Structure 1
Amino acid sequence: MGFGVFIRPGCVLKKGEWIGEYLGELLPPTYPGADDSNYAFELPGFPAEGISGVVINAQRHGNWTRFVNSHCSPNVVAYPEQVGKVRIVAFRTVKRIVAGQQLFIAYGRQYFSGRGMLCSCNAQAQPHLPPEESD
């Protein structure tokens, strides 16, 4: 667990509410060290249309969304979205979140296993790997 993002007193976020965009340095996936950061999101491309993906690396340049921690039972989802002609990683709530609660996304099993780390969320009593992602 890192810094974390918490809901302010008096605030309530409704289920399905768009709350932010993941911002950072845009790098080609082939750029040396593009995804070496703990703050890197891969934004897939559209190979059939000749559009390659990018890595959004918020290690040095980013906004508050880079401080959202991981949990095996998240209350926020981060996903690629198209806004006009711009592709972004959007953060949207998946349940009602009240004042004092922390925002969580699921980093995924690959994030932890690829770094030789374990998740320390309270979904299990001990540090663990997140469950396999299901489609």
Structure 2
Amino acid sequence: MHKFVALTHSMLQNNFTGLIQQKSEADNFDPYGFGLSRTHELPVSLMWLYEHYPRDNSQMILETIDLLFEGGKQGGRDWTTFFVEGVFPKQGTGTFKTSGFTHGVNLAQAKYQTSLSGTIIGDEHLGALSPQRGYS
């Protein structure tokens, strides 16, 4: 895991290589920005590593987490600007423009997208009050 952190850290320091698509360099690895939409996922594992087995890499682990969040912001996927009143959609698909923010898989752990039984679902996009597609 520490070798992975070192590689990730070096790539993110190099113009967010592997996270933000560099169209000027003919990158075509993630044209829809799914990786950007999920910059919040890897920090969970990195925090576990930091808390339990940091070795001598504590600073690099924390910097990698910061770089992931900064990359998300620079790539237009800053979740702190989405889960706010007036931005988070309260109606189902068709009433708002879909994006990487509204893709159900990207929102699977968000409290706003659960089924009536309380289980997490990951439909294509937010489903408002539909019991088949989640509710807000």
Same structural fold, with TM-score higher than 0.5 when normalized by the shorter chain? no
Q: Considering Cα pairs closer than 8 Å and 6+ residues apart, tell me whether 1 or 2 has the greater RCO.
A: 1
Higher helix share: 2
Higher strand share: 1
- Give the TM-score band, short-chain normalised: under 0.3
